[in-house]
Structure 1
Amino acid sequence: MSVRIDIAGLRPERIAVVPSPLAELGMALHALSEPGHHPGLQGWVTSVTARLDSSLADRMCEADFLWRTTFSDVFLPCAGVPGHGPGPGTLPGTTLTDDLDLLDKLSDEQFVDAALEFTCALPYSTDGASALADAGVRERALELAAARGPQQLRFSERLLADPPGVRGWLRRFARDCDEAFFADAWSRLRHQLAADARHKTELLRRKGLAAALAAVSPSLTLDESAARITVDKLGDGHSATGDGGLLLVPTSLGRPHLMVLHRHGWQPVLHYPVGSAEPVAPPSVEQLALRMTALSHPVRMRICRHLARSSYTTGELAQALGMTAPEISRHLGVLKKAGLIGTRRRGRYVHYQLDVTVVARLGSDFLEGILR
């Protein structure tokens, strides 16, 4: 499972690393709605929530499906606005007002389809009918919105009936959030984001895309021969830069999320967290699945119980568990392939022991994997 971005023909000058105030506002709203995703922001979330005006808090709930699960592509409108000239595609605005002006440049179909992404599950990586143009898609969108509750249904009905009105609502809401809490946060965060963007841009210039992607996240890999970027995620998706560019957008509020905008017809965007990095690179989705599968077998769980306390040889484990040595060897092979146990040789004997650090991180690795 992964998201793939084909970059055949992508020229270096069409790659840009630029912060986006509107995208950071989307991330702020997500953190306020789902603080459990962001334990490092608990203090900030508590402070903002405590002083939030009740009417603004109600408006946050009115359309929180746009940012609670992750955040909608409407917070990165630059990706949907065609670029012109030899440089990268349309870039985010330098101010929140500039970014909101880009939101107004999206067509009604683009705006509605992006806003309904988490409601009606429209085709994302491929072309598909718009809910504004197709009665069947529209009906299905409203059915799914109704299943999520009356508030989401009301908002979806408004969106389909009056896209410009809802766009204006979102613009006013963003400005009110800016006045209430975001302007203060952005004044602190924009310097870190700008510094990171300069650093990644310099890496691009001096060492190329592979080095810049490696600095963004260990979950990104570049296959230069296939002209493809692969993002290790639990979802599947596909995009291509085509005649456009590739945009990297840093976020200070986004860890552990590494988001990929791969909407059909939009410029691909990698929205990545900056700040304190994890001390150990997280395992790939494949490695995580191997570890979870390895520990799902009751015999291997019993083996781990022994190996957590001391090192054992295959023969010692066979005697302790009442099994044959070949049976134990097969289970040890699964655990070793998953990276859960280590070995060391003493004379002609091989001793196995559980890697307790890896096992202790399994819960956080799993959570990071499904949130990434």
Structure 2
Amino acid sequence: MSVFIDVTGLPQERVTFGPSPLAELAAALHALSEPAHHARLHGWITTTQAALKPELADRLHEADFMWRSARADILLPATPRETLAEELDDLDRLDDERYVGAALEISCAAPNAREEDAYSPLTDEGARRRALDLAAARGPAQAAFVQRMLADPPAVRAWIRRLVEDCDEAFFADTWRRVRGQLAADARHKTEILRHKGLAEALAAVSPAMTLEEDGPRRRIVVDKLAHARTTAQGSGLTFLPTAFGRPHLVALYAPGWRPVVQYPVASRELADVTPVETVKLRLEAVAHPTRIRLCRSLSRGDHTTSELADAHGITAPEVSRHLAVLRKAGLLTTRRRGRYVMHQLDVTVVARLGSDFLEGLLR
């Protein structure tokens, strides 16, 4: 499972890197809503939450479906600006149908929608019912908010802008001053890599979870996520937004009719080794079998030959070999030769990471 972005024939100059204050505010709001996802931000989250006025905290809770479990499209600008006010002005220029559909995209987008289809909850009854039903499942405050948005889009759009501006005044302006230079420097660095070394090298610098696949003239970016989607950047271009608040998330906007946007965590030492989700899947499947669990218990205590394992567990040597092959393919074993014997041992370091790798794959 991955997100595929078709970049066949896309000129290099249509790929842009730049910091976005609105996207960074959305990442910060997500961290406030889901602190368990962002342990390294514990200090900032605790300090910011403690300083929030109750009225502002209540308003953030009312609208947090736009950034809590997923990111509404309006919060990932395809054209990042210097200031938050400029990006909010860009949003004001969207018509109501496009704005509301994007704001609620995370809860009411129709599956398998085609770009030419209009699935706005303002015009499509099915999308409207789905938006209201899912909002109701998230609580009365969010249900009331979505009802107001569908009934009076201009009023709610103004309410959202005031909320963003109040967040800027309360805590984000100071935060943005501290991180803006780092994000701008990262964007410049990635732009230089793109210019001098090409898209494949730039993607590798963005995240180990992103690669460029080339098949003759066809080219596509593969974003290694536990999701499956396809979009194209051929006509619109592609935007990359660095974030200081985003790890471990790698956010890819791929809604029909929108320029693809990728928000990526700025480089850190912890991100140097990202385990592909396919590898995590192989490892989980490998340790799910009851016989292999028992073999792993023995292999975790020391190295063993195939014959030793067969004798200890009362199964045949060929059967042990088949199970060991599955564990080896998943990268969970170390193997060495001692004379005429081949010794197998569990790689406890890799197994210890399996839980955190699985969680990071889910959150990516």
TM range (shorter): over 0.9
Q: 2:311 aligns with which of 319, 325, 340?
A: 319
Tell me if the contact between 2:213 and 2:221 (Cα under 8 Å) persists in the aligned partners.
yes
* 1:38-57 pair list within 5 angstroms: 38-57=38-57
Matches of 2:95 and 2:233, distance apart in 1: 21
The alignment of Structure 1 onto Structure 2 pairs a total of residues equal to 360
Q: Deviation digits for residues 284-332 of structure 1, max 9, x if unmatched?
A: 1111111001111111111111111101110011111111101100110
Instruction: Give the distance between the partners of 2:324 and 2:130, measured in 1 at CA.
Output: 50
The secondary structure found in structure 2 opposite 1:224 is strand
Give the conservation status (yes or no) of the 8 Å contact 1:19–1:193: yes
Q: Aligned residue for 1:215?
A: 205
Alignment of 1:256-295 (within 5 A): 256-278=248-270, 281-295=273-287
CA-CA distance at 1:147 after TM superposition: 2.2
Contact 2:206 2:267 in 1 (8 A): no
1:124 and 1:174 mapped to 2: Cα distance? 31
- Within 5 A, what are the aligned runs for 1:57-96? 57-76=57-76, 78-79=77-78, 91-96=79-84
- Deviation for aligned residue 1:64: 0.8
Q: What letter corresponds to residue 138 of structure 1 in structure 2?
A: R
Q: Is the Cα contact below 8 Å between 2:107 and 2:130 reproduced in 1?
A: no
The correspondence for 2:153, drawn from 151, 163, 168, is: 163
Q: Distance in 2 between matches of 1:251 and 1:206?
A: 23
In structure 2, how many angstroms separate the alpha carbons of the residues matched to 1:200 and 1:61? 35
On the 8 A contact 1:124/1:264 being kept in 2, the answer is no
Cα deviation, residue 279, structure 1: 6.0
Residue 139 of structure 1: CA displacement?
2.2
Equivalent position of 2:89 in the other structure: 101
Name the residue aligned to 2:9: 9
Give the AA of the match of 2:70: T
Shift of 1:163: 1.4
Q: Percent identity between the aligned chains? A: 60
For residue 119 of structure 1, report the CA deviation from its aligned partner. 2.3
In the other structure, the counterpart of 1:355 is 347
Shift in CA distance, 107/10, structure 1 to aligned 2, threshold 3 Å:
same
Q: Secondary structure at the match of 1:41?
A: helix
Deviation at 1:250, TM superposition (A): 0.3
Cα distance per residue 1:230-289 (max 9 Å; x no partner): 111111111101222111110000000001011111111111001423265222111111
C-alpha displacement at 1:138, in angstroms?
Answer: 1.3
- Render the CA deviation track for 1:139-167: whole Å, top value 9, x for unaligned: 23212222222111111111111112111
- Alpha-carbon contact 1:120-1:145 (below 8 Å) kept: no
Which segment drifts farther, 183-192 or 109-118? Answer: 109-118
Q: Which residue of 2 aligns with 1:329?
A: 321
Give unmatched runs, 5+ long, in structure 1. 80-90
Report the CA distance between 1:137 and its aligned residue. 2.2
Local SS of the residue matching 2:82: coil
Q: Matched residues in 2 for 1:309 and 1:136: separation?
A: 58
Which moves more between the two structures, 157-166 or 172-181? 157-166
- Deviation for aligned residue 1:333: 0.6
Among 304, 309, 312, the residue aligned to 2:301: 309
TM-score, length basis structure 1: 0.94
Question: Is 1:200 paired with 2:190?
Answer: yes
2:357 maps to 1:365: yes
1:87-135 deviation per Cα after TM superposition (whole angstroms, max 9, x unaligned): xxxx211111111111112221221112212322434763332211122
Matching residue's letter, 1:233: K
Partner Cα distance (1:39, 1:162) in 2: 38
Q: When the two structures are superposed, what TM-score results if normalisation uses the length of structure 2?
A: 0.96
User: Per the alignment, in what secondary structure is the counterpart of residue 227 of structure 1?
Assistant: strand
Q: In structure 1, how many angstroms separate the alpha carbons of the residues matched to 2:105 and 2:227? A: 15
Aligned to 1:231: 223
Superposition RMSD in Å: 1.3
In 2: Cα distance, 1:187 partner to 1:331 partner: 55
Q: Counterpart of 2:200 in 1: which secondary structure?
A: helix
How far, CA to CA, are the matches of 2:229 and 2:284 in structure 1? 24
